[in-house]
Structure 1
Amino acid sequence: MSDSASRIAGYGHWVANSLRSLWAAEASKDYLQANTRQAELEGLQFAFYARLTAIVIVSAWLFSIVPWPRDLYYGGYAFGFFLLGYIPYRLRHHPHGETIKLGFIVLDVALVSAAILVPPPVDFGSQWPVQTRLRGQEFLYLLLLPAEAALTYSPRRVIWTGVSILVIWSIGVFTIYSQPDTLRFNDVAAEEVLTSATVLELSLQPTFVGLTPWYTQLVATSLFTLLLTLTVWRSRRTLLRQVETEIVRADLARYVSPDVAEALTKRGGTRFGDPTTRTVTVLFADIVGFTKLSETLSPDRTFTLLRSFQERSCAIVFKHGGTLDKYLGDGFMATFGSIDPQPDASARALACAFELQREIERWSLKRSGDGADPLRTSIGVHCGPVTVGNLGGRERVEFTVVGDVVNVASRLEEVTREIGGSIVVSEDCIGAAGRSEWIDRFQSSREIHLRGRQQGIVVHIAV
């Protein structure tokens, strides 16, 4: 191949890798956005239910203190407030759902402000001057709206709600402040010097309106909105970090055992995998006669068979709290108690072995019914002290266990063909799991000598 062709091929390879990396990054970004969007939708749903609770509580309170028939007037506002929450809730999956929600936030603020500032009709028994609507503490009801927006994990909605309150409430206050019959400090100050007695007398007039409470409301609302926005922003960052961690964990779990991925993401790569010695139960499993079986299968069918075996086996290992140490062609090695100490590691391993045997038997019957060759597994289990940690070089490490226990478990799996059993377990493992609870599941026991070992070992055999 010429130099130009080599450069073109190399460039093509670089482009292909770049595109794959870009696709993976975009996929992770899409996943992150999708999970964030889902959290916002769940927050919107929770906020709607919180609104319903607030409507019920406030309505009950108003009906208890407001005389008939004026309570019907405020009941109408409560129903309108419910509708303004229900409509965007029903449209939350709409493509323009966010714009719709922002629009309804403005309507929320306008409705609550109107309920506070607009007096009921005379027919409902209210004859107080409109200026007195600014004397009460009802403005606090408006601050419930930013609190509701904070439940949706959206800082933008909190800010939008706070700004809407500042603008709409100010319009309402100045509308009343501009009424011809409103008394103001400026009107009196133009005629006489304001004394404490004059200020007190003026403040007690029903039509008096001062701007100091409005200033206080503006400052309090701005600070409340700012603090809520910062709180939601931090909560959203925490949510994003959790989603990113889940993405990393899910990606890692495709290449390592899920519990290893979980430990890596929680403890950090620099603190995980330091060599340590602990008691671990090791399980080896293998498809009996796979080499002969693969001779009759095409490569793609062999691949499908292995993948199906691995999927079924791994699901059972993970179900019992085991760690998939590695795949070994048509078999695998699993450990129990390698990442964190498990007092019942041996019992978990034995339960895993017997369930794996039952699952392969069910699968084999199904295969036989479909005209395929039956399958049988061989399983060896042993426990004892091992060294647990990371092995490898700078570029690649592998979390694994090392020790004589691993070799014995591997030999026990191999010896199943010779002694006619499907599961061979050491006496040490039976003792650790609870001899009285497990010994009845084995059909025989004997002492055997394993290849490469001088001392014999007592094993229990299940066919």
Structure 2
Amino acid sequence: MNSDSSGRFLFARELPKQIVIFILSLPVMGFGIWLMLQYMIAEGAITLAAFPVAFAIAGTVYFGAAAALGWGVTVYLTFRYLFEMTPGFATAYAVLYFLAVLLAALLLRRNGFRNLLQTPVRSLVLWYLIVGLAFPVLTSAIGVPLLAAGGGTIDSAQFVLLFTANFISDSFSPVSLGLALCAVLAWIMEKPEPVREAGNWYRFEQALWLFLCALAILAVVGFGDVWASNSIREIAPAFFLLLVWAALRFSMVFALIAAAAVGLVVTSCYAFGLGGSPVPETTRDAIDVYTNLLAMTVLAQVSSAMTLQRARDHQRAMRAELDRANLKRYFSPRLVEDLLSRSESVDHTRSQRVVVMFVDIVGFTSIAEQQTPEETISMLREFDTEIEEEIFRNSGVVDKYIGDGVMAAFGLPQVGDADVASALRCARGMVDRTAKLAEQRKRRGKTPFSIGVGLHVGHVVAGNVGSERNLSFTVIGDAVNTASRLESLSRSLKASIVVSEIVIEAVRHEAPDEKASLLDGFKKIGETTVKGRADPVNVWVLPLDNY
């Protein structure tokens, strides 16, 4: 978590917003306390009171420290005025739960828990360790002695049993309801990816089931006395079927809400004796109920998280393969692996120095008129294959295929020490390959062809352009226009390669040991007017008679 988010979390930023969150959190926490007072069971050690802890932790994780402060204030008011504890003990208990919730939320945020739906298994383990284990150990180890010292327990209560009861209570509620609340908040706050029309129904279905589960939870409170007409044991198989079906829905949000709803219903039935369910007579009996419910809840959560994780991993694998395929359109296989290992993407827009090359078949129109369309396509495929291999062999990037021509760039995605030399080496290699293709065509009785190459170096903007449906990686800038114009001069200058003087100077600097062979046969034409440029360009050419 960066310093900016830490500041907002601890009131340093957006103070008015945090005040509103604090005020709104008080009635929410108060509702949880009301549940405790209405439905206290089993000597008062295990109650539905732990559910406001779930609200507090989820609220603090997603809305900041104001929610934890609201919980602390609610705890103080409850223990001071309802349980009639002394101000000192009530304050100590409030501070304990405030700090425990705040610490748990901070640890969760710092470790990336808010990526719950993107890394479900990791987030689930993180929640179990911090909220399901560390948090209840802290509140039980300190809170139970405080509760006993402040007169909040009966004299005959056993400390170990009280500790165990408090631990299960403080762990079960956040693990069941708290995690479900976090999943809902993550689902609401997550930026939805563009979906097809069929996908909109799926989101609607998720929202509908969340509403029904929330309605079931509220029904426990409003209609608890008539909730079940049969024993909870008789309807338990239906709950298990619900959890299994939820886990297979590929929706972790739905599965967690379903698990929390089932836990609330079962807990309520056992707590209040609804539908003939036996009421736990002792804390030990209540612990057995909670332990079984916790095991069932964790099983449902883990299965749903693993199902979602597999789906996410499959999506990431497909996305990685698509990225690999997309990169292969532009870069050599060696460079693709290097880019993927360094997690770079051509989608990142950048401005940098690049060598731009244009290659075009001379006299393509007249040659195409002498051939069938199938023969023309076959010729182009053969030509493009040779040109692409030469570009990749020299660490170049295929920008695009333009009819009977190719646009390439050298120095992407990172500028190298010898990009210009590589580009010129590539240009000469292309001319050699084309000469061999021409000989092969002559032997087959086909019209041979030659190419014109234009090279220029300069700063460009590189990135994906086009619509969302049809993006294409390319480079844009004056260097691109100049290279294109130089290639078009190859006809009138009767040259196979036309370059700007800046290319010649760069080759001399980058490859002093190789400059003799790379620049062999080049002749200086001098300043030449290039269409689209106000200033002339010093041009060098490799004449056709050199091949």
Q: TM-score, normalised by structure 1?
A: 0.45
Q: TM-score, normalised by structure 2?
A: 0.38
